[in-house]
Amino acid sequence: MPNGTSVPADPHSWTTLAQLRRLSKASWDKGQLLRELVTPTETYPRRRPLKRPTAAELRNDYAAAHSWAAELFAAAGKYTLETADVGRTTIGSNRLPSAAVFATVEDEIAFAGKSAEAARFQNLAARLGELDAALGSWIARRPLQLLDLGDAAPIAAQAAMWLRDNPAPGIYVRQLSLPGVHTKFVETHRRTIDEMADALQLTAPIDAAPGIDEREAAKGRHARAHDMTPPDAADHNATAHGITPRDAARKDTTAQGVPNRDAAGRNSTASQDVGVPGQELTSPNETDQELTAQDLTSEPTGAALLGDADERTPAARFAARHGFLHPPEQIRFRILDPDIVALGNARDISVTAEAFGSLSLPIKTVITTENLINFLTLPERPRTLALFGRGYGFSALREAAWLRNCNIIYWGDLDTHGFRILDQLRAVHPHVTSILMDQQTLLSHRDAWVREPSPSRAPLTRLTAAESALYNALGNDEFGPAVRLEQELIRWDWALHALPPQP
């Protein structure tokens, strides 16, 4: 250094015992250490380089360097230390730790403080292996999930094995007679059961069975890729006047197998080892394959949003993949014309999608709204029907050919996902028009704006020029960050004025 200035030691740049332990815990959190127990590689003995004091730092702060080295030497046991000769030409030879070496994965697991968890994992893995050795591939892919499942894992495995042995059973899930396997269990663990079934080589019959074309096979693969939503929370067997299993003020798009509109934005995939000077880089094949937040929120394509009605919800897709029966989808509507008689004096009616498609009513206008209260309070109008929307779930309307002869009006939230739903509805019925989804309505209700948690920026091709301009403006935050106007917050007098003149 100029003028003989000494270099101050920087203990913070040296790999400490705590940092070394964090590296091992990071490998645990990514499933690497558990995976090594069941599918050993050539990773071990594993050498983790250590950032150590330089000769100048050793000379300028010998006490700090000595304390750093002493801590690492004292903790040795689950690891051994390689050393390097430092300072020979300045203050004399000093042997400092240069790398920590774990002889076995068991040693590193113990160093990370996870021996008890590893023993439990090995017990669970052995139990699954006794059921069927083919489950080993699932264990290696989802080691942390196996640990989280605990005793539920062998039960899920037995369900998967039953599916292998009983293809297309033609019964309801409720009718399964397996110990511990009931409807709620399948709802909670259907993703795991699906993956285990794939490990038991059920993928090949699904994807390549005679008589199933590539479109159907692709549909099955896509359903598996996106069936990550939580179990449906309510029974879909709605009665003629029953409240649908949706919140009165918000759309439950998660139940439709698409991103939850109010979920947080996407997270990145599994994190890599904490950056510590001197550590080795994690190779790509070591990255964890556990479920990530992005798996849970990735947006399906339009084809997935508008798939067959019987395969739109996660539970329905599971039933369709494995040949179970599933309750038919319900469509709820109100007849706004008091002179039209359908079911006696019934005005608020729920029917199956198949029955809805066969209706023959003197209807000329259909108003679709996503909000229950809006649906219930739309005023009487001649030859008009109100339809309670279900987020992205318009697949059931595809077969209702009589709607093609009606004026269909869509009223959704004034946010990016509201326009996405409108765009998808037009994929089924291109002549749909929108109301209360315009810039004037938005700007006239500034006091009611809220924040849209996860705005969409997907390209939409079925919007009008004005709708597309507003969609892009919302997505680009031209009115402010993630502006959203929920339909239930629009003044009722404003909403009534926006309805088209009565025929």
Same domain assignment for residues 194 and 249: yes
CA–CA gap between residue 297 and residue 111 (Å, rounded): 35
Residue 130, domain member (yes or no) = yes
Output the CA angle 219-316-199, nearest 5 degrees: 60
Q: How far apart are CA 97 and CA 49, in angstroms?
A: 9
For residue 403, what are the domain limits?
330-498
Tokens of 76: 């040795």
Residue 290 lies in a domain: no
Q: Which residues contact 126 (CB under 8 A, 6 or more apart)?
A: none
- Shared domain check, 487 and 400: yes
Domain count, the chain: 3
Q: In the chain, how many H helices and how many E strands? A: 21, 11
User: Do 324 and 169 contact (CB within 8 A), yes or no?
Assistant: yes
Please give the full DSSP string across 368-435, using - where no structure is assigned.
Answer: EES-HHHHHHPPP-TTEEEEE--TT--GGGTT-GGGGGSEEEEE--BSHHHHHHHHHHHHH-TT-EES
278 inside domain: no
Kindly list the averaged pLDDT for each block of 10 residues, start to end, along the chain of length 503.
50 88 97 96 95 89 92 96 84 87 97 97 96 94 96 95 92 89 91 93 42 37 36 33 32 33 34 33 37 36 41 78 86 93 88 89 93 94 90 68 93 95 91 96 97 94 97 96 95 93 74
Furthest-apart CA atoms within the chain: distance in Å: 104
Q: What is the pLDDT of residue 92?
A: 67
Task: Based on the fold, state whether residues 226 and 309 are members of the same structural domain.
Answer: yes
Tracing tokens 């009565």 back to the chain, one arrives at 502
Q: What is the pLDDT of residue 11?
A: 61
Note the pTM of the prediction, 2 decimals.
0.60
pLDDT for 34: 97
Whether residues 96 and 161 share a domain: the answer is no
361 and 316 in a common domain: no
Domain identity same for 421 and 485: yes
Give the span between the Cα atoms of 11 and 15, in whole angstroms: 9
Q: Is residue 274 part of a domain?
A: no
Same domain as 303, residue 226: yes
Residues 398 and 335 in one domain: yes
Q: Rounded to whole angstroms, how far apart are CA atoms 482 and 161?
A: 47
The reply to whether 276 falls in a domain is no
Same domain, 247 and 302: yes
281 Cβ neighbours under 8 A, 6+ residues apart: none
Instruction: Please name which of 100, 193, 111, 119 lies closest in space to residue 155, comparing C-alpha atoms.
Output: 193
Residues 150-179: tens digit of each pLDDT: 999 999 999 999 999 998 999 888 888 899
* Predicted local distance difference test score (pLDDT) of residue 12: 66
35 lies in the same domain as 145: no
254 located within any domain:
yes
CA distances from 38 to 93, 112, 173, 428 (A): 44, 18, 33, 49
Query: In terms of Cα–Cα distance, which of 503, 501, 492 is closest to 371?
Result: 492
The confidence score (pLDDT) of residue 394 equals 64
Q: Which of 359, 354, 451 is nearest to 406 (CA)?
A: 359
CA distance readout (Å), 473 to 423, 463, 476:
16, 14, 5
Give CA–CA dist 136/199, Å, rounded: 8
Specify the pLDDT at position 8: 55
**pLDDT given at position 311:** 52
Q: Quote the pLDDT of residue 501.
A: 81
Cβ atoms 156, 200 nearer than 8 A? no
**Predicted local distance difference test score (pLDDT) of residue 83:** 94
Out of 81, 111, 141, a domain closes at 111
Could you tell me if 12 and 6 are in contact, meaning their C-beta atoms sit under 8 angstroms apart? no
- At residue 317, the pLDDT reads 85
Q: Kindly state whether residues 126 and 103 are assigned to the same domain.
A: no
Is 491 in a helix, a strand, or coil? coil
99 and 200 together in one domain: no
Asked whether residue 1 is domain-assigned, the answer is no
Q: What is the per-residue DSSP string for 178-229?
A: BTTB-HHHHHHHHHHHHHHHIIIIIHHHHHH-TT--HHHHHHHHHHHHH--S
Q: Is 223:217 a contact under the CB 8 Å cutoff?
A: no
For residue 346, the 8-state DSSP code is B
E strand spans, 5-134: 46-49, 80-86, 94-102
In this structure, is residue 399 part of a structural domain? yes
